[in-house]
């Protein structure tokens, strides 16, 4: 039963549990026709889980969903699409080498073909033109190659592709659609979103840019720890209000007693001096000292991940300098830094996991020299080392001959941490070390990092979007915004709330 006055989207009492964790705890979420509804929440708040429930990827434990008044079965992606729900992710999935027209056609319907099956390109072009014009995208040429488009044009094409039948679309979910967009282009996206809303489409707008919420959205829902903590009209709210609600009001008092003030006065071991690099860093400076755990926080695009890419030699240093022990490193990269005692652990699993090799081999690969004695590789010594490390870091199952791809994410992650700690680096740079790791594993990994800093004097640079991790372990926390270090928190100032607030603070 479809009625005109029914909400575009209605989710009721959604509960989703994962082993050891309740990701969604009875979430109600309603989007009216023609409404732009912002969905906010920090990392791990349940935002992405909720969208995955809607898309059919996750099957919720309880709850129900209706689109334009019709009940929707969960876990069925095709039914979701047929009901008129479209979801656009940050990684928008366009093929760079194809034209706009070909991208609009990717996986959507069939080409208009003449006799012998030849595509009638003239008709296709006219249809694409009409479709783009209809959405107010007259500036995009259907024949243009997607690779040559600006960031916002690509997003517009992705949305246009999703709106294959404008009359049938009820709900459009934009999942961080603006994250990759430069400030000045965001207005173009807003125009398109408003055009769609004016036609009665319910828009769910997921973002972490709070000023966008205030500008664009009609209503806002904030999730925290899997529950709705705020759901109301945006007009009465300020950016600061939102930041406070997202962070939660409880003051964190974790481990603050453990933060020794003296630790931040050790000798500088790794420094960035006015670094301009890659697409994100625009003159960032920081100093990492011996024996401290220094957190680096910031939203996607703020430069946090560019710091890691720079130290991996994956983004070019355009100006400024990287210094280790006071001496500039002309071409920072994995091997040049390794020689200076700087080890970098990438965030993505695909950059760490050597599939096809065993757990032991994955741990020892960073330095095989201890096993090269008397002209042959001492397999037994390697195995003994691996067994000891597996024991010490509680990697499960404790079978060092097991292929690494058979370990769970958290246990594999501990193995990669062990890989680097084993080489006793002076500086350990970690990107998202607890991403995808369960609660117990997270605590252990963080404990390992803190122990390395306290006991070995290792300087740890923790680049993380998990503010709980930062608050729990760091001696100092730097907050990056727009590619520069915007704030520094020390001692008692380091709370989850404060970090989140500064991450979202205006430029």
Which residues here bind other proteins, judged by CB under 8 A?
312, 334-335, 338, 343-344, 346, 350-357, 361, 365-369, 371-372, 376-377, 397, 403, 405-406, 419, 423
Nearer to other proteins, 367 or 493 (CB): 367
| Cβ closest to other proteins, residue 146 vs residue 311 | 311
CA of residue 31 relative to chain centroid, distance: 25
CA dihedral 97, 100, 104, 109 (to 10 degrees): -80
Q: Between residues 53 and 437, which has the closer beta carbon with respect to other proteins?
A: 437
Distance CA 39, CA 51 (A): 10
Q: Which is nearer to other proteins, 287 or 423 (CB)?
A: 423
Minimum Å distance from CB 38 to other proteins? 37
For 267, residues 6+ apart whose C-beta sits below 8 A from its C-beta are 289, 290
Residue 67 sits at φ, ψ, to 5 deg, of -120, 120
The CB-of-301 to other proteins minimum distance in angstroms stands at 22
**How many Å apart are CA 164 and CA 108, to the nearest integer?**
7
CA dihedral sign, ordered 65, 70, 76, 79: negative
User: How many other CB atoms are found less than 10 A from the CB of residue 365?
Assistant: 11
Min dist CB 12 to other proteins, Å, is: 31
Left if phi > 0, otherwise alpha if psi is -120 to 50, otherwise beta: which for 394?
A: left
**Three-state SS sequence of 113-145:** ECHHHCECHHHHHHHHHHHHHHCCCCCCCCCCE
- Smallest separation (angstroms) from other proteins to the CB of 325: 19
Distance CA 402, CA 68 (A): 50
Number of residues written out for the chain: 507
Q: Output the smallest distance, CB 417 to other proteins, in A.
A: 12
CA distances to 294, 305, 348 from 479, rounded to whole Å, are 11, 12, 21
- Smallest separation (angstroms) from other proteins to the CB of 344: 7
Nearer to other proteins, 268 or 436 (CB): 436
Q: Indicate the residue among 140 and 343 with the shorter CB distance to other proteins.
A: 343
107 φ/ψ sector (left φ>0, alpha ψ -120 to 50, else beta): left
Nearer Cβ to other proteins (126/439): 439
Please report where in the chains the tokens 């009940």 appear, as a residue: 71
Least Å distance, CB 69 to other proteins, is 43
Q: Which is nearer to other proteins, 58 or 352 (CB)?
A: 352
Taking the least distance from each CB to other proteins, the nearer of 109 and 374 is: 374
Shortest reach from residue 432's CB to other proteins, in Å = 14
Least separation in angstroms between CB 335 and other proteins? 6
Find the distance separating the first CA and the last CA of the chain, reported in whole Å: 48
Q: How far is the CB of 317 from other proteins (least distance, A)?
A: 18
Min dist CB 366 to other proteins, Å, is 5
3-state secondary structure of 39: strand
CB 275 within 8 A of CB 321: yes
Tell me whether residue 122 or residue 335 sits nearer to other proteins (CB atom): 335
- Distance, in Å, from the CA atom of 368 to the CA atom of 343, rounded to the nearest integer, reads 15
Of the two residues 266 and 403, which places its CB atom closer to other proteins in the complex?
403
Inter-residue contact 303 to 280 (CB < 8 Å): yes
Provide the minimum distance between the beta carbon of 365 and other proteins in the complex, in angstroms, as a whole number.
5
Judge whether 314 and 346 are in contact, CB under 8 Å.
Answer: no
Name the residue with tokens 């081999």: 361
Sign of the Cα pseudo-torsion (416, 422, 423, 428, in order): positive
Nearer to other proteins, 100 or 420 (CB): 420
Q: Token pair 């100006």 is at which residue? A: 319
Contact 484, 302 (CB under 8 A): no
| Helix axes of 496-504 and 239-247: crossing angle, nearest 10 degrees | 150
State the nearest-atom distance from the C-beta of 216 to other proteins, in Å: 39
**Minimum CB distance to other proteins smaller for 19 or for 109:** 19
Write the CB contacts of 291 (distance below 8 Å, at least 6 apart in sequence).
263, 266, 453, 454, 457, 458, 459
């Amino acid at each position: 039963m479809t009625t005109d006055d029914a909400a575009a989207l209605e989710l009721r009492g959604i509960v989703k549990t994962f082993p050891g964790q309740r990701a969604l705890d009875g979430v109600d979420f309603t989007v009216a026709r023609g409404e732009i509804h912002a969905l906010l929440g920090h990392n791990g708040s349940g935002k992405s889980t909720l969208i995955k429930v809607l898309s059919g990827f996750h099957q919720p434990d309880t709850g129900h969903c209706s689109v334009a008044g019709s009940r929707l079965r969960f876990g069925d992606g095709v039914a979701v699409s047929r009901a008129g729900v479209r979801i656009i992710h940050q990684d928008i999935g366009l093929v760079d080498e194809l034209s706009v027209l070909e991208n609009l056609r990717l996986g959507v319907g069939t080409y208009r073909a003449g006799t012998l099956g030849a595509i009638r390109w003239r008709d296709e072009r006219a249809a694409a033109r009409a479709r783009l014009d209809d959405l107010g995208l007259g500036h995009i040429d259907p024949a243009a190659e997607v690779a040559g488009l600006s960031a916002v044009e690509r997003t517009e094409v992705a949305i246009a592709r999703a709106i294959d039948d404008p009359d049938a679309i009820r709900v459009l979910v934009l999942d961080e659609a603006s994250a990759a967009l430069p400030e000045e282009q965001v207005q173009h996206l807003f125009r398109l979103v408003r055009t769609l809303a004016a036609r009665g489409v319910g828009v769910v707008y997921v973002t972490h840019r709070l000023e966008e919420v205030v500008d664009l959205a009609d209503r806002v829902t904030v999730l925290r720890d899997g529950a709705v903590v705020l759901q109301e009209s945006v007009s009465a709210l300020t950016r600061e209000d939102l930041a406070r609600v997202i962070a939660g009001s409880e003051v964190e008092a974790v481990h603050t007693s453990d933060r020794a003030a003296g630790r931040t006065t050790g000798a500088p071991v790794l420094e960035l001096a006015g670094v301009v690099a890659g697409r994100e860093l625009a003159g960032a400076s920081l100093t990492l000292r011996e024996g401290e755990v220094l957190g680096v926080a910031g939203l996607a695009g703020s430069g946090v991940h560019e710091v890691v890419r720079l130290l991996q030699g994956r983004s070019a240093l355009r100006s400024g300098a990287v210094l280790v022990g006071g001496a500039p490193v002309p071409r920072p990269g994995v091997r040049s830094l390794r020689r200076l005692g700087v080890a970098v652990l990438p965030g993505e699993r695909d950059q760490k996991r050597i599939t096809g090799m065993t757990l032991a081999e994955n741990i020892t690969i960073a330095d095989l020299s201890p096993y090269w004695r008397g002209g042959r590789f001492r397999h037994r010594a390697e195995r003994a080392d691996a067994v000891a490390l597996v024991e010490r870091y509680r990697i499960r199952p404790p079978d060092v001959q097991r292929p690494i791809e058979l370990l769970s994410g958290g246990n594999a992650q501990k193995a990669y941490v062990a890989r680097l700690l084993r080489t006793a680096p002076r500086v350990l740079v970690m990107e998202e070390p607890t991403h995808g790791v369960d609660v117990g594993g997270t605590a252990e990994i963080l404990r390992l990092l803190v122990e390395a800093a306290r006991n070995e004097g290792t300087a740890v640079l923790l680049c993380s979007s998990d503010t709980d991790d930062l608050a729990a372990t760091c001696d100092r926390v730097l907050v990056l915004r727009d590619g520069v270090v915007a704030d520094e928190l020390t001692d008692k100032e380091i709370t989850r709330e404060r970090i989140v607030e500064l991450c979202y603070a205006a430029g």
